Structure 1
Amino acid sequence: MNLLDALPDSWIKASVSKYCDVRLGKMLQNDPSSDRDELKPYLRAINIAKTGLDLAHDFSMWITPAEKDRFRLAKGDILVSEGGDAGRTAVFDSEREYYFQNAINRVWPAATELIVPEFIYYWFTFLKVAGYVEMVCNVATIPHFTAEKVKAAPLALPPLETQRRIAQFLDEKTAQIDGLIDKKRALLERLAEKRQALITRTVTNGLNPSAPMKPTGIDWLGDIPAHWEVLPVKRVAKLESGHAPDKKIDAYWDDCEIPWVSLNDTAILRAADYISDTTYKINELGLANSSARLLPARAVVFTRDATIGESAITTRPMAVSQHIIAWLCDDSRVIPEYLLFAIYGMRGELLRLTNGSTIGTIGMGDVKSIRMALPPIAEQNQIVAAIVKAKDSLDNIVGLANRSIERLIEYRAALVSSAVTGQIEGLR
């Protein structure tokens, strides 16, 4: 991939190392090596967000006196992530004292009379969106945009005044685009809140605003229609958990065809009401030699570890891992779709039950104690139909907003690429 061929002939074309200094950050130091070391704030890859520098994440490590000048950031430094989302770039624009860890490369012009730092920021943004970073990184495992790869990256430098025009133009245009993206994302947050409130209200209050109500004494349920029941979910659905076949035994993982719901399917469970396929599968031998069992279709599954309460209904027989709860509904008491929406509605209660300082989990005792408001079957069907209709309407708006965000991101990338490669006539 030669990115420099189509650029104006008058521009300087070289590698980054010829005109910029590149330094990888300091190895994380958790403990002082002497009484002269100081605990200082530092940046890591997560601080380089898609929208620029993000100082909301606070990290500290020990810095020796000899390292203070070497690893202290200065305003205007270009930060390029070495790992994480490799090649993501931000400008350090803070007056505060910060250092940088070895998940970040710092790039700064060695010849300030030839380079505008902001232009370098947009140039590295271009290398990322043009696919150069992905090409030179080992994406088979975890990509790393090492200091050596950063130094070897191509660099094109127009005249200084042209760099300033390009940087100013992109500052203005990308700020406008980012503002539009922020508004779209704020809309998505409001829609998600509206969706959650709609479901919670409907599975606790029903569809008839004039129905007589009764108190439940349960905070998240509040008052419910007087003719509804409040029952533990285990009274109307059979609780099932799962297991993982021994991963050290290859025979349990060969020629696998049985869908196996695990935490690897969290994104699927979050995105849809039904799950038809799984990331991993197991075979009959693995199933027979584990505590997992094949569950019938239309089981309501939800995550009990890590991200709590992501749920869906299975569309065919599946097994589940030990991190997943499955409820098999008694069709005479509760339909799977109503139980699914009830689980959506109790999201706040599930989070309250979560324990664990790092990876949250809901204990089986708490799972067995979960209660729900239960209307008659006919009313459950009416509620499900009403929620589906309302959700479909909201989901259509969400889809439009997401597609708009995607187009804006694509336009932003194209604009940066066109500007830094001299394709916009008025900026040359």
Structure 2
Amino acid sequence: MEEREDITTSTTCGAVSEWRAVSDPKQAGWLFSQDLLHSNRNSINLFLSVDIRQDKEEQDQTLIKFYKRDNVQWTSPLRCKLLGDVASGSGVDRHMMSTVIFKLMSGFHINLGNAAITKVFEGEPDHLIPSVSESLLDNNMFAVAGRMIGHSFLHHGPSFPGLSPAIIHILFGGSLETTPVTIRDCPDLDIRDAVKMLDGDAELNEFDAIHQLSLSWDLPAPNATNRKWLSKKLLLHAVIEQTRRQINQFRKGLKETGLWPLLVHRRDIIPILFPRESEAQVTPQMVLDCITWPTSRTVFFESYKVEDDGESNVMDVCRVSGYLKTFIENASPAELKSLIKFWIGWEVPATEMKVEIVEATLPTASTCFEKLRLPRHYKAYKAFRQDLCACISTSYSGFGCA
């Protein structure tokens, strides 16, 4: 019983041993999240409602306001609603979690500085670091980011890909001396140039600029003796020392979601929570492996299943199913993610994604049942692709489904 306090007072010993003992980290994360949500099932519901008829700035403000609240039990039951869209149920919850992570990656339509879109993290893929913006820090946006990522994980939503290994190292208590920082972790190109210049053997150019940068960070002026050492110090300061308060705030927000005991005791969960961007990509085969295809003799007419041995039905089902397979095999990563989000509510493929061939005008989706409905009337792949692309492009503004 001595370890119960370090998990949560409502977690049972049996559940603790189960998520600790299971070998698969994904299964461990699922068990932990399920137990945490179950133990708080009687808490007051969290309601997240976004009006998709509003402009992007107002929608983003709604999301930020929801996650900016303090003293919230983030493991309480979540109820999401899209005002202006007919969709309801678990599909909306999935859509909302996906939107939260998407906004965190692409930026919020709010002005907390001099830009129309504000990014909480900056840099290149797989080397993202917290923005050094004081305005973001003052507005508690890194705590917001931690809550968003932890909340999405709890509800089995998308993870946050592309965070720098150096930031992950410090976030989870790694020492400064062993931080795996690289030049690609520095988003400031001027500082990159200074670090590269010091690390090389060429004669120092722009000496005054490097001198001023060093003095501003309480480091000695560069010279032939200390240039290599100074290059490492400048890089470490740019990536870690400048973002320490942001990392601390980010850690605080993540802890508030209740995930910290899992991350401390199961370090193999960390790469799942913060995967490399390349590992987070959805491949055509991943999608195809999850699809439950319609039988060749079943077509749906306005939600009613009709069994027919007619040759036309067989041909329609085979042809349209083939068009979908061709689309998936040739789609870009962005198109695949949009398709999956339109289909089931977020970009994480489900274990069973169903396809129906129907009498309809355009493709639709029932996200709650993880079902994609495709019209049988298509006779050419070009028309099928055009309509499908138009429909899945609505996935980030609403479901676009009947």
TM-score, length of structure 1 as denominator length? 0.22
Whose helix fraction is larger, Structure 1's or Structure 2's?
A: 2
Whose strand fraction is larger, Structure 1's or Structure 2's?
A: 1
TM-score, length of structure 2 as denominator length? 0.23
